[in-house]
Structure 1
C-alpha cells in the first residue's frame, strides 16, 4: 500500500481574506519594492502556486485610473479607484524617485488623510514614507528610511525621527520600510500576523529568502551624516557615500558640485577641520568596521568593498582610525558586545565627523 498523504489545511475560497492590503503607487515608484511586497502576499494567499486571492487580498488603487509609471519605465495599470479605506487592513504607499515632480495628486493625498482618520494603518515603503510625511501624517513619529535618503528626510522634515539602522519599523498605526528586499520581510510580518507564520515562511522560501528577518535587522549600509554641515558639504558627502567601493577622485566630486578641488578642500577645512580626502577615508573605514561587525566577510573582501587596494592598506587605515587592526577588532567582538572608540592618535576633528 502506498503511504497515506499527510493532511494539510486547505484555503477556503468562500471565507473572507484574513489580510487585505490596498496599494497606492507613487509616480516613478520602485518596482522591486512593490513586486516583492505583493508577491509575498500572493504566495501566501493560496495553496501551492494557485495565486488566488483567498487568504490575502490586494488591490492597486488610483484616483485617475491611468497606468502608473515606475522608476524603471514599466507601467502598472490600477485595478480600482480609491476604495473605501475600511475595506483594508492596511493601505501601503510605494514610493520611488524623490525629485521627479509630485509623487501623488491632491485627491490621493486627501484619501490618505481620510484613511488615517478612519484608523486604517498606513504603510510607507521606500520613499512612500515621504508621501505620508508630506501629507502631514508622520509628525512626531519615527520613520524607517533607507540610509540613501537619510539626509533627505532630515533636510525636509524637522519633526520626524529618521531611523536608518533597520529594514522596517512599526510605530503604532504607521509602518515604514526602507524598501528593496526589506519589503518582502515587512509583508511576511503582516502575513505571519494575520494568516500564520507557516504561510509567511512559505512565501519567502519560494522567493529564495532563507527566513523572515525581524524589523530590527540592519540595512546593508549605515548612514554617514555630517553633523551641522552646509548643503554643498552634505552633497559632496552623499557622492562619497554612494561610491564607497570605487572611490571617486576629489576633483570629480568637485566638478559635480561646479567648483574646484581647492575650493572644496577649503570648504571642508572650514566646516569640519579636515579635507574631503580625510572624510572620504574615514567614511570608508567606518563602513569597513560596520561590515566586520555585521557580516562574516573575509578582511580582504571588506578591504575591496571599501575601496582599498588590499587588506594591508585597509588594516593600516583602520588601525590609524581605531587604534587596532581589523583582526584585533573581530577578536574583541568574539568575546562579546563591545564599543569601538576612535584612536586618540586620530585628529579630534576627524574623530567627530560622523
Structure 2
C-alpha cells in the first residue's frame, strides 16, 4: 500500500500529483497496489486551497510499501505533532521507502531521518531549513534527492517527478514513459536538474548580498571565483561562503552559475548570436560547459531552447 500523509493546510498538489502518477502507472503496469490518504486525525482534511481530502487514521507501518509526506503551510505544526513523527519513524525503521514533497522535508528532518544525509526542499524554505536542521546536507537546487530508502523533492510539481522515478523503479521505464505521456508531460526531469524557480530568486536580489549579486550579474565575463566575491564583500573566503549560504540558500558558485544561465538563456532565445559568443560573454567560456549547464537547468541544450523560442 502507498500512503500519502497529509495534515491541515497541506498543499493539495503535493498529494494529488503523486496520487495521479501512481494511479496511471498502476493501470499501465496492471498493478493493484492501493493508494491511501492518511493523517494523524482521520476525516476531512482541509488544504491551503480550502479543498478537502478524506484521510484515514494512521494504520500499521508494516502495511506500507511507500509513504509520501506532503508539504504546505501547515508543515511546521505537522513536524511538531508527536503522533505524525512517531509514525514516520516507525515506517522508516522497517526500511520502507519514505519521501517528502516540497516542505514535507521538514517532517523527515524532525524525525531525524535526514541527519548526515543529502536532501532538498522548496527553494523558498531553504534558509529556514538550513538554520533549523544544520546536520542535513541540503542541496537546494535539486529537483529530488534519494538517499537509500529516503527521498525528498522540491516544490510542488517536483513531487510528480519524484513519483515518476519511484514508478520507474517499481514498474520500469516503459510504464513511466506511457504515464508521462498520459499526464501530458513534455519530458520526465531527472533528480539532478536544477529547480527552475531557483533562478528567479536572483533576478532582483535583495538582502545582505543583493548589491554583490547585482555587480556580479554585470560582470559575468570575469572569473568570479569565491575568492573574488569574498574580497569584494570584504570578508574571508570561509566566512563569506558560510554567510552566503545562510543568506541565499545557495553556494556562491551555484549562484554565479544561475546568473550566467539566466543571462545566457535570454540571449539565446532573443537573438541569433552565435552560441559560442553567448558562452564567452556570459563567462562560461566553453560552449560545451554552457550546454551541460543548460541541460542541468532546463533539460535541453541551448539550441533546443532557441528553436522552441523561434517556433513560439
Normalising by structure 1, we get a TM-score of 0.61
Distance 1:184 1:61 in 2: 19
Q: Residues 336 and 116 (structure 1 numbering): CA distance in 2 closer, same or farther, change over 3 Å?
A: closer
Whether 2:21 is the aligned partner of 1:40: answer yes
The answer for the alignment partner of 1:142 in structure 2 is 118
Whether 2:84 is the aligned partner of 1:108: answer yes
Any residues of structure 2 matched to 1:75-86 within 5 Å, and which?
75-78=52-55, 80-86=56-62
Any residues of structure 2 matched to 1:195-206 within 5 Å, and which?
195-206=171-182
Q: Quote the offset at 1:166 in angstroms.
A: 1.5
Distance 1:75 1:195 in 2: 30
The answer for the alignment partner of 2:309 in structure 1 is none
Contact 1:129 1:176 survives alignment (8 Å): yes
The answer for the alignment partner of 2:137 in structure 1 is 161
Q: Residues 301 and 86 (structure 1 numbering): CA distance in 2 closer, same or farther, change over 3 Å?
A: farther
CA RMSD of aligned residues (A): 3.3
The answer for the alignment partner of 1:58 in structure 2 is 35
Whether 2:304 is the aligned partner of 1:328: answer no
Whether 2:127 is the aligned partner of 1:151: answer yes
Choose between structure 1 and 2: higher helix proportion. Answer: 2
Distance 1:173 1:22 in 2: 15
Distance 1:22 1:98 in 2: 19
Contact 2:103 2:121 survives alignment (8 Å): yes
Of residues 165, 168, 181, the one that matches 2:157 is 181
Which runs of 5 or more residues in structure 1 are unaligned?
1-19, 224-240, 254-267, 303-323, 341-354
Whether 2:262 is the aligned partner of 1:281: answer no
Distance 1:160 1:216 in 2: 18
Q: Residues 102 and 69 (structure 1 numbering): CA distance in 2 closer, same or farther, change over 3 Å?
A: same
Any residues of structure 2 matched to 1:2-21 within 5 Å, and which?
20-21=1-2
Q: Quote the offset at 1:130 in angstroms.
A: 0.4
Q: Quote the offset at 1:93 in angstroms.
A: 0.7
Distance 1:81 1:172 in 2: 27
Q: Quote the offset at 1:160 in angstroms.
A: 0.6
Distance 1:196 1:142 in 2: 25
Any residues of structure 2 matched to 1:112-127 within 5 Å, and which?
112-127=88-103
Which one has more relative contact order, counting CA pairs under 8 Å at least 6 apart?
A: 2
Any residues of structure 2 matched to 1:216-235 within 5 Å, and which?
216-222=192-198
Q: Residues 282 and 94 (structure 1 numbering): CA distance in 2 closer, same or farther, change over 3 Å?
A: farther
Contact 2:10 2:74 survives alignment (8 Å): no
Distance 1:100 1:339 in 2: 37
The one-character-per-residue Cα deviations of 1:52-88 (angstroms, maximum 9, x if unpaired) are x84442111123213222122221111x221222222
Of residues 262, 282, 300, the one that matches 1:291 is 262
Distance 1:161 1:26 in 2: 26
Contact 1:299 1:326 survives alignment (8 Å): no
Q: Quote the offset at 1:300 in angstroms.
A: 7.2
